[in-house]
Amino acid sequence: MKMKCGACLLVLVLFMSCIPGKSILAASTTIAKHVGNSNPLIDHHLGADPFALTYNGRVYIYMSSDDYEYNSNGTIKDNSFANLNKVFVISSADMVNWTDHGAIPVAGANGANGGRGIAKWAGASWAPSVAVKKINGKDKFFLYFANGGGGIGVLTADSPTGPWTDPIGKALVTTSTPGMSGVVWLFDPAVFVDDDGTGYLYAGGGIPGGSNPTQEQWANPKTARVIKLGTDMTSVVGSASVIDAPFMFEDSGIHKHNGKYYYSYCINFSGAHPANIPPGEIGYMTSSSPMGPFTYRGHFLKNPGAFFGAGGNNHHAVFNFKNEWYVVYHAQTVSFALFGAGKGYRSPHINKLVHLADGSIQEVAANYRGVSQLANLNPYNRVEAETFAWNGRILTEKSSAPGGPENNQNVTSIHNGDWIAVGNADFGTRGARTFKANVASTAGGKIEVRLDSVTGKLVGTLNVPSTGGAQTWREIETTVSGATGVHNVYFVFTGNSSGNLFNVDYWQFTQNEHR
């Protein structure tokens, strides 16, 4: 996905070269998440079928691992979903600056994921869904995933980013599970833990009738299910119940608001639809019980093609974060920006969702602007370099740097003119005194610290030496001056090598002792 856009030195007019703090390089451009916007959440890689978990002041987004497929001549194929064997994870405390937590290598059948796949029985991991529940006094995390369209598996962990293990060594739910007969596609799980600690799993989709369904089969496919989970969250209790969702296609969703249970789903695309059940949109139903029966109420999210120019399937999850409701969904915005066509490759987005007084849901206004930043970033804490709001054509990779988080990543594929930026860093009235970064390099270069734009006020420059290897790490520090108040902070990378200049693991400012 690395596509450089003129990241090379330009010859500027003489008076420009004499202006203090002005950069003389052509900065790399953004792809689809442009400065000031919050959508898509990331554009340095893809992510489909998003699901949100909120935990300890952060929202974690778990996604299917959309990744580009190529023809032998290097052109992009349409997405065949062949790469959906892992789960991408990102998280944020403020909904604008996102931390890349890398990939969970879920599928392990036939040596998938380089032999590191966790579920050795599974050949795929589609549409993840995650819950947290206190088990024996300790928070445990449960990741449910679809093994293609043939069943649902579960992984467990002690943190939202892992490490993950397979607790049962087989699928949790299959078409042989009581009540699951008649489901065409047993996939797209959504997990929900109610206020009393009881867990429920929602899944299913597809249209009966093979290649020639009847109007009745389009209108009432009866392929959605809900089943109660055991107290351990890794077993099921009793038989699944049918959710008679009109024109059901895929993408189960569930949330609870004011004592009502909201089941939501992607409406199918064919047959004769009444006006209140439009094709390809997200419809919703309500019930007084998590097991139903549910009553159809309407729709709240149009197909992404209505907003972004590239349609395709519609996948979503509704969640509450810091007392506000949101919907996370995918759209083909990044691939569309790169190739002029989505080709089925999806990226995550978030917009606000509003429940009206009568219990209905207001139509969501999906857009690139997205959600405003909810809190300022503290630059005096250690910040992982793979945490950023916007970027100029970098990538991330698994890092061997010591002392980092689980599945630590670093920023890489850094060339002259590339950059990363965080939104709304608060330096306070005293301001910053020093800046340090943990770097690894064989070439070396510089990190320019700038405020508010790639050519904004230069407050410091970190000289990055060769450390002897791309994963040989060294913490380097420099002084800074003039960084006070709240700013978007840009780290602009410069250097003379045509290859990767260096990798960055984390960064941190220190504060002046006195005003």
Query: What is the predicted pLDDT for the residue at 16?
Result: 35
Indicate if the pLDDT at residue 176 is higher than 90.
Answer: yes
Please write the tens of the pLDDT for every residue from 37-93: 999 999 999 999 999 999 999 999 999 999 999 999 999 999 999 999 999 999 999
Please write the tens of the pLDDT for every residue from 211-240: 999 999 999 999 999 999 999 999 999 999
What is the per-residue DSSP string for 39-73? -SS--SS--EEEEEEEETTEEEEEEE-----B-TT
Angle among Cα 41, 364, 367 to the nearest 5 degrees reads 40
The backbone torsions φ and ψ at residue 308, rounded to the nearest 5 degrees and listed phi first, read -120, 0
Query: What is the predicted pLDDT for the residue at 483?
Result: 98
Q: How many helices (H) does the chain have, and how many strands (E)?
A: 4, 30
**CA-derived radius of gyration, the chain:** 24
Torsion angle of alpha carbons 365, 81, 31, 393, nearest 10°?
140
Indicate if the pLDDT at residue 5 is higher than 60.
Answer: no
Look up tokens 């080709």; give the residue: 343
Contacts of range 306-311, beta carbons closer than 8 Å, 24 or more positions apart? 306/366, 307/331, 307/366, 307/367, 308/332, 308/333, 308/336, 308/366, 308/368, 309/336, 310/335, 310/336, 310/341, 310/342, 311/280, 311/342
Query: What is the predicted pLDDT for the residue at 467?
Result: 98
Please write the tens of the pLDDT for every residue from 253-297: 999 999 999 999 999 999 999 999 999 999 999 999 999 999 999
Buried b / exposed e over 410-427, threshold 16 CB at 10 Å, is bbbbbbbbbbbbbbbbeb
Query: What is the predicted pLDDT for the residue at 109?
Result: 98
Instruction: Confirm if 40 and 347 have CB atoms less than 8 A apart.
Output: yes
Among 53, 52, 42, 85, which residue's Cα sits nearest to residue 66? 85
- Residue 7's pLDDT band (cuts 50, 70, 90): very low
Which residues are the active-site residues? 49, 250
Q: Which residues contact 502 (CB under 8 A, 6 or more apart)?
A: 414, 439, 440, 441, 443, 444, 445, 464, 467, 493, 495
Look up tokens 């979503």; give the residue: 316
Peptide bond preceding 405: is omega within 30 degrees of 0, i.e. cis? no
Indicate if the pLDDT at residue 344 is higher than 60.
Answer: yes
Q: Supply 273's token pair.
A: 């639809």
Q: What is the 3-state secondary structure (H, E, C) of 286-345?
A: EECCCCCCCEEEEEEECCCHHHHCCCCCCCEEEEEECCEEEEEEEECHHHHHHHCCCCCC
In angstroms, the CA 333 to CA 311 distance is 10
In angstroms, the CA 309 to CA 30 distance is 19
Instruction: Confirm if 318 and 300 have CB atoms less than 8 A apart.
Output: no
Please write the tens of the pLDDT for every residue from 434-485: 999 999 999 999 999 999 999 999 999 999 999 999 999 999 999 999 999 9
Among 244, 261, 173, which residue's Cα sits nearest to residue 253? 261
Instruction: Confirm if 393 and 7 have CB atoms less than 8 A apart.
Output: yes
Burial of 389 (0-12, 13-18, 19+ CB in 10 A): buried
Instruction: Confirm if 300 and 277 have CB atoms less than 8 A apart.
Output: no
Among 190, 149, 192, which residue's Cα sits nearest to residue 171? 149
CA end-to-end distance (rounded Å), the chain: 45
pTM of the model: 0.95
Instruction: Confirm if 8 and 26 have CB atoms less than 8 A apart.
Output: yes
User: What domains does the chain contain, in order, with CATH numbers?
Assistant: 14-28+376-511 (2.60.120.260), 48-352 (2.115.10.20)
Tell me, rounded to whole angstroms, the distance of Cα 277 from its chain centroid: 28
Please write the tens of the pLDDT for every residue from 151-168: 999 999 999 999 999 999
Indicate if the pLDDT at residue 20 is higher than 50.
Answer: no
Indicate if the pLDDT at residue 335 is higher than 90.
Answer: yes
